[in-house]
Amino acid sequence: MNNQKPPYHELESKMEEAEKLIHALRTQQVDAIVGERHIMLVRLKQAEENLKSSRNQLRALASYLLSARENERAVIARELHDEFGQGLTSLQLGLSWISRKLTPGQQPLQKKIKSLSATTTNLMRSVKNIASELRPGVLNELGLVKTLKSEAREFEGHTGIRCRFKTNTAKAKFDRSAAVAIFRIVQAALTNIARHAHASRAHIALTKRKNGVTLTVTDNGKGISRKLVYGHDSLGITGMRERALALGGTFTLGGSGSSKGTILTVQIPLSRVIIGPASSRSRNTPQF
Ligand SMILES: Nc1ncnc2c1ncn2[C@@H]1O[C@H](COP(=O)(O)OP(=O)(O)O)[C@@H](O)[C@H]1O
Ligand SMILES: [Mg+2]
């Protein structure tokens, strides 16, 4: 066995070689890590872009579906009004014609006709109510502000929950789709208050500001959790949010600060609501 130690310079050159090897390995590892990180970043960016574009597509689809639903409702309302409304009117006329032909001795028949006539009147009222629920024709007649005022009054009458409406836009003219969206959001919010809030008071405010219109619907009920606001099952809330976003607006729903209850806030840019004298706008734009 050779117990002689290798000369010093040989050891030194071996050490140098080993150091170079270690350095090369390190550089390779770092390069690999940097490369991988770059690939991951590119993939992440791509995924983000895909997500953004599908979100935009979904938003466009939701907006299309909302307006398609509004159009469908208008068609059904018209059919209801024309077909059923006219049919029931002629039924009513027929009944009163028969009633006039009856002799005083035909009391049982007279009684029957009276009850049929009352049923027909009720049906006519129901058809009218369903048609106006489907198509907010009152918006055309009264305009948004008066419609909301009467909605608040009716809500108070039906539910016993005190409901006030306040606005600084009494004379404003609203674009049709903005008016329909605001009206539908208020309807859905009031229905939720009646169904879920256990409130004794509700408050609606429509306020014109410098850059937009703010709608708030407040109640003093039990309040709402974040989980419900963003829940997959909360289709009513999702519908309200989509209506606001379709108008380029924002939507928030949550606790109403220090007091208990819920506050819904929708903000829509002024340009999408069209407010002001009719003369400053296109003559073809329907206003409400
Ligand atoms: N004003 C409110 N106060 C308390 N809870 C509410 C209020 N509005 C909505 N919620 C809660 O949020 C849930 C989702 O509402 P929504 O999406 O309109 O669906 P739905 O009314 O069909 O249940 C309701 O079931 C209710 O629990
Ligand atoms: Mg609801």
What's the pLDDT score for residue 283? Answer: 41
Q: What percent of the chain has pLDDT over 90?
A: 56
Q: Are residues 125 and 159 in the same domain?
A: no
The number of the ligand 1 atom at minimal distance from the alpha carbon of 234 is 17
What's the pLDDT score for residue 2? Answer: 57
Q: How many domains does the chain have?
A: 2
The answer as to whether 258 is a domain residue is: yes
Q: Are residues 95 and 125 in the same domain?
A: yes
pLDDT in tens, 262-278: 999 999 999 888 765 54
Q: Are residues 183 and 152 in the same domain?
A: yes
Note down the domain range covering 56. Answer: 9-135
Residue 161, pLDDT > 70, answer yes
The number of the ligand 1 atom at minimal distance from the alpha carbon of 229 is 12
Q: Are residues 273 and 157 in the same domain?
A: yes
Q: Are residues 193 and 209 in the same domain?
A: yes
Q: Are residues 141 and 127 in the same domain?
A: no
Last residue of a domain, one of 101, 135, 169: 135
Q: Are residues 50 and 86 in the same domain?
A: yes
Is the shortest distance between the CB of 253 and ligand 1 below 6 Å? no
The answer as to whether 3 is a domain residue is: no
The answer as to whether 288 is a domain residue is: no
Last residue of a domain, one of 93, 117, 135: 135
The answer as to whether 23 is a domain residue is: yes
Neighbours of ion ligand 2 (CB under 5 A): 192, 236
Question: What does pLDDT average to over the chain?
Answer: 87
pLDDT in tens, 200-229: 999 999 999 888 999 999 999 999 999 999
What's the pLDDT score for residue 133? Answer: 77
The number of the ligand 1 atom at minimal distance from the alpha carbon of 235 is 17
SS (H, E, C) the chain: CCCCCCCHHHHHHHHHHHHHHHHHHHHHHHHHHHHHHHHHHHHHHHHHHHHHHHHHHHHHHHHHHHHHHHHHHHHHHHHHHHHHHHHHHHHHHHHHHHHHHCCCCCHHHHHHHHHHHHHHHHHHHHHHHHHHHHCCHHHHHHCHHHHHHHHHHHHHHHHCCEEEEEECCCCCCCEHHHHHHHHHHHHHHHHHHHHHHCCCEEEEEEEECCCEEEEEEEECCCCCCHHHHCCCCCHHHHHHHHHHHHCCCEEEEEECCCCCCEEEEEEEEHHHHCCCCHHHCCCCCCEC
Q: Are residues 268 and 154 in the same domain?
A: yes
Task: Give residue 288 CA to ligand 2 midpoint distance, Å.
Answer: 26
